[in-house]
Amino acid sequence: MSTTDSSDVIVIGAGVVGAACAYYAARHGLSVTVLDRGAVAGGTTGAGEGNLLVSDKEPGPELELALISLALWRELSEALPPEIEYEPKGGLVVASAPEGLPALRKLAAGQRAAGVKAEEIPPERLPGLEPHLAPGLAGGVHYPQDAQVQPALAAAHLLRASGARLRLGEEVTGFLKGASGELKGVRTSKGALHAPYVVNAAGAWGGELARLAGATLPLLPRRGFVLVTEPLPQLVRHKVYSAEYVADVASGSAELQTSAVVEGTPAGPVLIGASREQVGFDRSLSTAALRRLAAQAVALFPVLARVRAMRTYAGFRPYLPDHLPAIGHDPTVPGLLHACGHEGAGIGLAPATGLVIARLVTGDKPPLDPGPFGPGRFAGASGTSGTSGRASTPR
Amino acid sequence: MSAEPYDLAVIGAGAAGLAGAVHAAGQGLSVALLDDAAQAGGQFFRHPAPALKAGRPQALHHHWSAFRELRSRLAASAVDHLTGHHVWTVTRDGDLPWAVHALTGADGEEQRPVCIRARALLLATGAYERQLPFPGWTLPGVVSAGGVQAMLKSGLVLPGRRIVVAGSGPLLLAAASSLATAGARVPLVAEAAGYLGYARHPGALAANPGKLAEGALHAKVLARHRVRLSTRSAVTEVHGTDRVEAVTVRRLDRDWRPLPGTGRRIACDALAVGHGLVPRIELATALGCATRQAPDGTSVLVLDDRQQTSVPGLWAAGETGGIGGWQLAAVEGELAALAVAHRLSGRPAPARVRELRRRRDRMRRFAEAMGAAHRPGPGWTHWLQDGTEVCRCEEVTAGSIREAVAELGARDARTVKLLTRAGMGWCQGRMCGAAVACLAAGGGGAAASEERRPFAVPVPLGTLAALDEPN
Ligand SMILES: Cc1cc2nc3c(=O)[nH]c(=O)nc-3n(C[C@H](O)[C@H](O)[C@H](O)COP(=O)(O)OP(=O)(O)OC[C@H]3O[C@@H](n4cnc5c(N)ncnc54)[C@H](O)[C@@H]3O)c2cc1C
Ligand SMILES: Cc1cc2nc3c(=O)[nH]c(=O)nc-3n(C[C@H](O)[C@H](O)[C@H](O)COP(=O)(O)OP(=O)(O)OC[C@H]3O[C@@H](n4cnc5c(N)ncnc54)[C@H](O)[C@@H]3O)c2cc1C
């Protein structure tokens, strides 16, 4: 490998976020090199579920990013091959008891004001949308914009379509800097690569990379388990979950939380996920997490009780204390941009993230105000100080 | 589960598990022995169900008496032998005893969940067969060499009348001699390795005269039935429309690459093919046990001098620590039992430990020399055509796996799976894992696949939902 290799942008990480950054950067006329120490989608992207959701997001910058991203996914579904398994199937959030309805209605009203399509479904109409849903639920809200992709294939096809140079099995071990501290490229396990811009899309490992570059990003992993069933004929039509899920997503607690999102896949298996807990990078099986996932799924769809789970896997969501991703220029290291920390929404938010990054590099106007995602918001924070929790107001 | 935990739970009632359970009970430990089969014996001592009343199974394997002795010691012991228990996971919360989660009963509706608690655990789950695909391997009439042995031992049916045996490893000779003895015509045994590999380890060989005698015995049977053995050759294609009609056998170079112009067609109505065994270690890897790559290319558990894995309190014996045959498995099972008893009771280890260790080390050395000789060469993938199905469950071809590696950025079995679905089906990659790992590594010999399979068997969601809260 040549050590004088140079391009306009180096993207570190071949997960879905890095792939989207490469795709949009290339479409903005930049030459791109993507590096990963492993394989394409070998990180959290390969452990994610591929929900593209607006339904679980409260009004605010993340929802704004999600709306843009969902529109981009729709475009991508035409530009990329059908193997990415894009399905605009819609989401259905249900309240099991009447007490859950007011909060659900309030959330939906706020989301509507932000441009989300959300239709309240009275209990008697639930079976029409989901014939196998448990009887006796209090009602729900239908979100037609929610969609799905197969994350690993989506990342792989984004990368292939980008035409970026792909260097796999090559780990970034350091950064090259110029006289005034500006980035000149990266040092890797196989040599050095040059570029005026480097994008940190290393997901849950983005904190380590920031540190290598002399920057700070207080990223933590938040573990999640997914259960995968045997293949079934279509039994679940939408992404179905209970209203409590939204509370889990917004929680900063380190404790185990579970709210099962149940969904079918084109290949037949039903996916049930995911739990959330902060236990570092520990993969060992948690029967407590699996028990709760299974119990919640069976409560929503009693027919699932006899269905067999074939496998389960764990992944690590890249998590920042205020639950927003870091997207934009590093405040201290010129030439370094961050695109990580998307927690449980990285698949959904990847295209908009990639577009913002590309525009920031070229100096064009981003599709939304990137201010709330600015990595500088952690300046002065004490690094990865653990489970300190979320900002006092969500989003 | 309010009952007192057992001192030891043994998973797997093959040679290793049987020996482990019997000797642990002999040391005064309370023991549960779980196995998914209806009877003890494991792979090697798979025997006709009593109802079959098949005459003289000992004609099929000469080690019957060793097994009979273990089995009668088991019957006389206080071991709780739990047959029909499919262990799906093993967990441990802090210092609490191990929880062994199993499903009982036949597949299907009546499965009932059970949780066994124990202070120590012995994993003796054996191995399954390594498959290397080739064009036509999904045709009816193609069976595994191990499957043939099992069929002969338990049902006494032949898969065909004129049966070619191919692949690599000592099981080929065993399978061919069983087939010939049972009345099949075996026109050829095609062994991909050179057998010269053993010569590099004369020490290990000389120290294992039993193994030599065994080989000689098979050779005598094969000679009597005029079975021809070709080394450095492989079945590279199977022909037939509805079932096997013929095979193409080609010569291989040292790397197992087929030599052009050497193909010959051999008529047959069945093919028994085997490429050795792969340890079944998913219960241990789900717990984070350290593994190493054995000389035969498979991933095996790292064990200390006393058979303990890298996870304290979890011991392993038999094929889980590397393929080595039933005698080694039995020695390791006994050694593990003594080690567990020593750990739990604090009594000094009996003098016998030293003798057992010596025997184990000698047999392990031999097994590893043999494993190295039969390790698939990197050239084997050359006999795959792009249209050859590699993952049978999900119908994924060699071509799409190659595309995932060359075009989509897969680099290992896991990312190939994510990008092609190879290994996502019913067998969870047990069938195609070895082949996929090789293709993912960009061709190449036997890449060990470090796949995690947290569920050793599928589990109904209702069962998961009803699990006890950990206290
Ligand atoms: C169980 C679970 C379910 C989920 N479900 C969903 C969902 O339904 N919808 C959704 O939108 N999101 C979901 N997510 C979240 C989503 O998977 C992540 O947000 C997303 O995959 C993050 O992608 P990424 O590209 O940032 O990170 P990754 O995919 O982890 O990619 C980072 C890459 O960086 C590489 N890397 C790290 N360090 C280095 C280095 N030093 N040198 C070179 N390379 C390096 C890694 O090898 C890795 O490949 C889920 C997550 C989990 C765990
Ligand atoms: C076809 C064939 C021919 C062979 N010929 C010879 C030979 O000639 N000479 C020789 O020395 N060796 C031979 N072997 C190898 C021999 O079978 C093994 O060395 C021996 O059986 C190893 O014993 P084990 O106890 O490690 O495993 P096994 O005998 O495989 O026993 C493992 C047991 O664990 C059970 N089990 C596994 N997972 C679970 C689970 N999750 N839950 C419950 N139960 C489980 C299995 O069903 C099995 O009963 C042969 C093997 C095969 C397959």
Choose the mutation target among A283, A285, A347 for the interface with B, i.e. most B CBs under 10 Å. A285
**For residue B214, how many other CB atoms are within 10 A of its CB?**
18
Interface-testing mutation among A35, A132, A291, with chain B (most B C-beta atoms within 10 A): A291
The residues on B that touch A, with CB distances below 8 Å, are: 89, 91, 99, 101, 109, 286-288, 404, 407-412, 414-415, 418-419, 421, 424, 426, 428, 452-455, 458-462, 464-467, 469-470
Q: Output the residue whose Cα is nearest ligand 1's atom 51.
A: A48
- In degrees, rounded to 5, the angle at the alpha carbon of residue B449 between the alpha carbons of residues B444 and B450 is 145
Neighbouring-strand partners of residue B113: B103
Average pLDDT over residues B269-275: 96
Give the pLDDT confidence score for residue B179 in this predicted structure.
92
CA A52/CA A239 separation, integer angstroms: 10
Total beta-carbon pairs less than 8 A apart between chain A and chain B: 127
Tokens of A379: 């300046």
A382, pLDDT greater than 60: no
What pLDDT, on the 0 to 100 scale, is given for residue A390?
32
Which residue of chain A has the CA closest to B409? A40
Going from N- to C-terminal start, the domains of chain A cover 3-47+152-219+322-378, 92-144+220-319
Q: What is the mean pLDDT of residues A93-111?
A: 90
With a cut of 60, say whether residue A37 has pLDDT above it. Answer: yes
A297 closest CB neighbour out of B410, B424, B461: B461
The verdict on a CB contact (< 8 Å) between A39 and B410 is yes
Report chain B residues whose CB lies below 8 A from the CB of A42. 411-412, 414-415
pLDDT at residue B471, as a whole number:
36
CA of A100 to the centre of ligand 1 (A): 32
Alpha-carbon dihedral angle through residues B144, B149, B155, B161, given to the nearest 10 degrees? 70
Who wins on pLDDT, B212 or A102? A102
The pTM of this model reads 0.88
What pLDDT score was predicted for residue B1? 44
Give me the residue from A168, A294, A312 closest to B409, CB to CB. A168
Is residue A386 over pLDDT 70? no
* Strand locations in chain A (E): 9-12, 32-36, 51-52, 91-95, 119-121, 139-143, 147-148, 165-168, 172-177, 183-188, 191-194, 197-200, 220-231, 239-242, 257-264, 269-276, 308-319, 326-329, 336-340
Indicate the DSSP class of residue B461.
H
Handedness of CA B317, B320, B321, B322 (dihedral sign): positive
Q: What is the pLDDT of residue B52?
A: 39
Please check the confidence at residue B323 and state whether its pLDDT lies above 50: yes
Please, which pLDDT band fits residue A384 given cuts at 50, 70 and 90? very low
Stronger pLDDT, A292 or A173, i.e. the higher one: A173
Residue identifier of the C-alpha nearest atom 30 of ligand 2: B126
A321-336 exposure pattern, b = at least 16 Cβ within 10 A, e = fewer: bbbbbbbbbbeebebb
Residue nearest to atom 52 of ligand 2 (CA): B146
Helical residues (DSSP H) of B27-79, grouped into ranges? 64-76
Least trusted range by pLDDT, from A245-259, B72-86, B90-104? A245-259
3-class state of residue B61 by DSSP: coil
Q: Is the pLDDT of residue A327 over 90?
A: yes
> Is A230 in the B-facing interface, judged by CB distances under 8 Å?
yes
- Six-digit token string for B150: 């099992």
d(CA A85, CA B199): 54
pLDDT of residue B431: 84
pLDDT in tens, A112-149: 999 999 999 999 999 999 999 999 999 999 999 999 99
Percent of chain A's residues with pLDDT above 70? 90
- A66 or B428, which is more confident: A66
> Rounded CA gap, B385 and B138, in Å?
14
Q: A210 forms bridges with which residues in the sheet?
A: none
CB contact under 8 A, B411 and A312: no
Q: What is the mean pLDDT of residues A17-40?
A: 97
Note whether A309 contacts B415, CB cutoff 8 Å.
no
Q: Which of B99, B410, B454 sits opposite A311 (nearest CB)?
A: B454
Quick one: tokens of A92? 């259905």
User: How does DSSP classify residue B258?
Assistant: B
Mean pLDDT (chain A, rounded) = 89
Atom of ligand 1 nearest to the CA of A349: 11
Instruction: Encode B112-143 in three state secondary structure.
Output: EEEEEEEEEEEECCCEEECCCCCCCCCCCCEE
pLDDT tens digit string along B344-367? 998 888 899 999 999 999 999 989
The reported pLDDT for the residue numbered B174 is 85
The pLDDT of B329-358, averaged and rounded, is 94
Q: What is the pLDDT of residue A251?
A: 56
Decide: helix, strand or coil at residue A238: coil
Of A159, A294, A306, the CB nearest to B409: A159
Q: How far is B89 from chain A (nearest CA, A)?
A: 9
* Complex ipTM value: 0.85
| Confidence (pLDDT) at A247 | 57
At A137-146, the pLDDT tens digits run 999 999 999 9
Q: Lowest-confidence range among A178-192, A279-293, B109-123?
A: A279-293
Determine the residue type at B468.
D
Instruction: Convert the pLDDT of each residue in B390-415 to its tens digit.
Output: 999 889 999 999 999 999 999 988 89
The identity of residue B441, as a single letter, is A
Which token pair is B280?
């079944």
Select the more confidently predicted residue: B453 or B278: B278
| Coil, strand or helix at A298 | helix
Q: Closest ligand to A317 CA?
A: 1
pLDDT, residue B211, reads 63
pLDDT reading at A388 higher than 50: no
Candidate of B326, B427, B457 to mutate for ligand 2, largest count of ligand atoms within 8 Å of Cβ: B326
State pLDDT tens for residues A361-375: 999 999 999 999 999
Q: Give percent above pLDDT 90 in chain A.
A: 75
Q: If you classify domain A3-47+152-219+322-378 with CATH, what class do you get? A: alpha beta
pLDDT in the model for residue B454 = 79
Among candidates B411, B426, B461 on the partner chain, residue whose Cβ is nearest the Cβ of A39: B411
Query: A304 CB near a chain B CB, below 8 Å?
Result: yes
Q: What's the whole-number mean pLDDT along residues B233-251?
A: 97
pLDDT at B326 over 70: yes
pLDDT at A207 over 90: yes
Q: What is the mean pLDDT of residues A187-210?
A: 96
Residues of B in contact with A272 (CB under 8 A): 461
Taking residues B115-123, report their average pLDDT: 97
Strand order in the sheet with A220-231: A119-121, A139-143, A91-95, A239-242, A257-264, A269-276, A220-231, A308-319, B459-460
Q: Is residue A387 over pLDDT 50?
A: no
Structurally, at CATH architecture level, domain A92-144+220-319 sits in 2-Layer Sandwich (3.30)
Average pLDDT over residues B295-313: 96
Whose tokens are 């006494």? That residue is B156
What pLDDT was estimated at residue B50?
45
Residues of chain A contacting B452 with CB distance shorter than 8 Å? 283, 313
Burial class (CB in 10 A: 0-12, 13-18, 19+), A222: buried
Instruction: Report the pLDDT value the prediction gives residue A287, as an integer from 0 to 100.
Output: 82
Contact (Cβ atoms closer than 8 angstroms) between residue B379 and residue B252: yes
pLDDT score at A228: 94
Would the CB atoms of B428 and A310 count as touching at under 8 Å?
yes
Q: Which domains does chain B have, with CATH numbers?
A: 6-128+278-370 (3.50.50.60), 131-275 (3.50.50.60), 378-440 (1.10.10.1100)
Residue range B46-80, pLDDT digits in tens: 655 443 344 444 444 456 788 889 999 999 999 99
Which residues of chain A lie closer than 8 angstroms to B414, CB-CB? Answer: 39, 42, 46
A156, B411: Cβ pair inside 8 Å?
no
Q: What is the structure's pLDDT at A285?
A: 75
- Model confidence at B204: pLDDT above 80: no
